[in-house]
Structure formats: structure tokens, C-alpha cells
Structure 1
Amino acid sequence: MTEPGEQSRIEADEARVALAGARWRARSRRVKLYRRVLPIIILVLAGGALTWTVFRTVMSGVERKASQSQEVRLDAPLFHGQDAQGRAFTVGAQGAVRDPATGHFRLIGPALKLNLGGRKVTELTADGGTYNEQAKTVTIGPNVRISDGGTGFVLTTPEALVDTSTGNVTGSKGVQGSGPIGTINASSYAIYDQGQRVVFDGAGDNKVMGVLTPKGSGG
């Protein structure tokens, strides 16, 4: 017959064994769960990191393109300036877009006015053009129309290059015109001193060469 004290120890040992077994089984279940869940968590985390990397790469590209494409658009702009001799000019347009990469203004329907002094004003219009403010040049075309206030000639040409520092206008893609002394058809032209002197040159079928100076210019 078992004594009461010994019986208590036996029951206590059995309880400890049962508790240890329960803990072992619980730990075993957790280990099995971790073995199943951890690979999934790792894949999710890796996928998330990859997705974030791809997302940041895409966003960086979008942000870079956005910063590069932040064009400045102007409605009916009008630029004022003076040439080296202090004569005023204006560069206007129906619209303009500033290229952030170059700083040039792309002109829509440009209209230029070069002041010759007094009422003498040379006016130029075209379908489009580019204003390089830093280089002090305006290139316009196609369908350029030049109304020269110095000689009274009206010229049409595919393209014109205006040097705003000197007021000179040049072109080498052909020119036709009419004025007080008749008509002219040439291969190239140059308007100097904001209309004080106009030079035409020809080649091939356009065998013309001449210089026009307005009255009172001393030419």
C-alpha cells in the first residue's frame, strides 16, 4: 500500500510529465507552422522588396521625364530688345513654348518688328520659328513675309534668320519680292542695318545680283 507522501510525489511527477508533454506538443505544432508560414513570408517580403524597387525605378523614370518635359507655354508673348546701335525691336507670336533642355522659345505665328528710326519699320511674319535669346537670333519659317521699311520692298521666302544684335536679316533658300523699282527673284538675300541696305544674290536660274538702298541713306 502506497504511503500518502509517496502518492503525492507520484502524482506530481505525472503532472510534470504531462505538462512537459503538452509543452513539447505545442512547440512541435509551432515549429510545423513556422516551417509552412516562413517560406511564404519570405516570398512575400522578397516580392514586396522587388515590387518597391521596380516601383521606385519606374517612378524615378517618370519624375525624370516629367522634369524634362516641364515646358513653359506662353500666350501672345512679346519680347522687347535693342540692337548694338540702340534701335528697338520686338519679337511677338501667337504663342510660344520654352524648351527646358535648350532654353529656346518655339514660336507659333511669329511677328517681328525692327525699328529703323522714325516711321521706318521692317516687319517679318511666318508660320513658325525659334527664338534663341542667349544667341540673339530668331529663325522663322516657313512662309516668311518681309515688309522692308527701308526700301519699300515686300519679300517672301521659306526662311529668314534675324540677328537681333545687329538687326540684319539673311536667308539662302530663295526669295521673291516686289517694290518701287519692280520685282526680284534671287537665291539669297541679306538686309543690313535694319533695312538701310538690301543685298540680293543669285545662282543657276536666279542670275541676279544687286544692292538696294533707300533714299537718304547715303548709298
Structure 2
Amino acid sequence: MTSLTASSGRDAFEPAASGRWEPRRALALSVARKRTAFVRGMRLLFTAGALSIAALLVVQLVLGSSGNATGETEAVSADVRMTNPRFTGRDESLTPYVVTADTAIRRRDAADGVTELERPRLDYDFLEAGADVSRVLAESGRYDLPNRILDLYSDVNFRTRAGYTFQSDHARIFLREERVTGEEAVEGTGPMGTIRADSYEITDGGNRIIFSGNVRARLIQDRTAPIPDASPEEGND
């Protein structure tokens, strides 16, 4: 009896059988490995998300800053639409100008720097001296930024600083040169009368105007100018 009791007491102080420890150790290692894999996966996910956001920001900055234009941008299919765009620049005489519009659209297949405009306006002393700079020049237009050329289409209305007002369906304004050309019929009104022609060109900052093709003019005589006295010889003729 005594021998059996002593043996039972030693068993109480001996470590538990290996069959009880090893399952717990394996379970702990499995949990640790799963946790490491989860943390690694989350790191990869956050890294990919950060790279995607950075790429989108770079694309928006490039599209928004190209062409010295400001405005709210919105991607529509493959085109980029800007609300209230603003283009600034200077001509050869360093005279500043500002081109604005209700909306600007940059087509995917358009040439670099070319933007379509809806209801364009122009703040420029060459054409808008003394006029309301918020006035719409045309229903639509196209601005070629690299060449500083503004094309206006449909219901074009503008005025030179010499006091002449023109209406046409097309005007091409060379902003660097203070020059305007038009290949559509034009009607003009100014201090000397009215004129109509098939095409026209305005140069020298508005001081010289050339009309071509079926030109019809009506001159207004200045009745306030004194009439020279006729000599007797001329009166007898």
C-alpha cells in the first residue's frame, strides 16, 4: 500500500504528458502566423490605396494646371470639362488680356493646348476699351493656347478701341499681334458710317481695317464741319 501511494505522489509533481502541451503550442503558433499574415495583407492594402490616391492627384494637377487655366474640373468620359475657366497672357506690347467662358472642354483627340469654349469673353484693351468686359463675344469659341489664337463662332460681336462695332459669324483674334481676321460676312458700324463685306482684317491695334468681297459702305457726312465758301468763278460754272 505504501509503495503505491509514494508512486502516486511523484506523478503529481511530474510534468503533464507531452500529449497535453503540444496541441496548445501548435495552436499558439498557428494564431501567430495568421496574425502576421493579416498584418502583412493590411499593409499591402493600405500601400496600394495610397499609391492610387497619389496617382489620381497627379492626373488632376496635370490636367488642371496645363495651359495657365483655372477653374473647377470635371471628367466626362474621355474629355475634361472646366467650369468658369480663366486664361491669362500678354501680347507683344506686354498688354495683359484675360479669356474667360462659361465652360471649357478639352477633347481627348484635340491638339495639345486647344480648348473649346462656351460663351467666351475677353478682357483686352485692343477690343474692349470702355466696354463691359463681362459681355459675351460669341456663342462658342476655341482657344489655342500655344499660339495665343482665339477663334469665335456664331453671333460674334466685338468692338475696337477706335469705336467700330462688328457683327459676324466668325472672328479669329491673334492675341499676340493685336490682329483680327474673319472669313465670314461682316457688318460694321462706326464713326464714319456702316459697311458690309464678305471678309475682313483688323490690324495695327484697330487703326487699320481692310474689307474684301462685295463691299458695300454707307458714309455719314459730318454736318458740323464748316463748308468752305465757293469762289465766284466756281459759282458761275
TM-score bin (small chain): 0.5 to 0.7
1:105 and 2:115 aligned: yes
| Partner of residue 169 from structure 1, selected from 173, 176, 180 | 180
Q: Deviations over 1:139-193 (max 9, x none)?
A: 11111001112x1111101100011211211112111021222211122222223
Corresponding residue for residue 73 of structure 1: 81
- For residue 72 of structure 1, give the secondary structure of its aligned residue in structure 2: strand
Instruction: Write the distance in 1 (CA, Å) between the matches of 2:164 and 2:116.
Output: 28
What does residue range 147-162 of structure 1 map to in structure 2 within 5 Å?
A: 147-149=159-161, 151-162=162-173
Q: Does 1:194 align with 2:225?
A: no
1:89 corresponds to: 97
Amino acid in the other structure paired with 2:78: Q
**Residues 118 and 163 from structure 1, CA distance in 2 versus in 1: closer, same or farther, beyond 3 angstroms?**
closer
Q: Which amino acid aligns with 1:200?
A: I
Cα 1:175–1:185 shift into 2, 3 Å = same
Aligned equivalents of 1:192 and 1:98: distance in 2?
30
In the alignment of these two chains, the number of paired residues is 140
Deviations 1:86-145 (A, max 9, x none): 011111111100123323111000112322499567967001011111122111111100
Structure 2 counterpart of 1:128, one-letter code: S
2:141·2:152 contact (CA, 8 Å) conserved in 1?
yes
Structure 2: segments with no counterpart, 5+ residues = 1-74, 218-237
2:151 to 116, 122, 139: 139
Shift of 1:194: 3.1
> Could you tell me which of 127, 137, 156 is aligned with 1:125?
137
Distance in 2 (CA, whole Å) between partners of 1:115 and 1:188 is: 23
Q: TM-score, normalised by structure 2?
A: 0.52
TM-score (structure 1 length as normaliser): 0.56
Counterpart contact for 1:115–1:122, Cα < 8 Å: no
1:135 aligned counterpart, secondary structure: coil
Question: Which amino acid in 2 is paired with 1:183?
Answer: T
User: Does the residue aligned with 2:124 lie in a helix, a strand or coil?
Assistant: strand
Amino acid at match of 1:71: D
How do residues 14-25 of structure 1 correspond to structure 2 at under 5 angstroms? none
Give, as a single letter, the amino acid of the residue that structure 2 aligns with 1:170. T
Q: For the residues of structure 2 that align with 1:83 and 1:166, how far apart are their CA atoms?
A: 6
CA contact (8 A) 1:186 1:200 kept: no
Q: Which runs of 5+ in 1 are unaligned?
A: 1-66, 209-219
| Cα deviation digits, residues 52-102 of structure 1 (max 9, x gap) | xxxxxxxxxxxxxxx995322111112111011101111111110012332
> Residue 181 of structure 1 aligns with which residue?
192
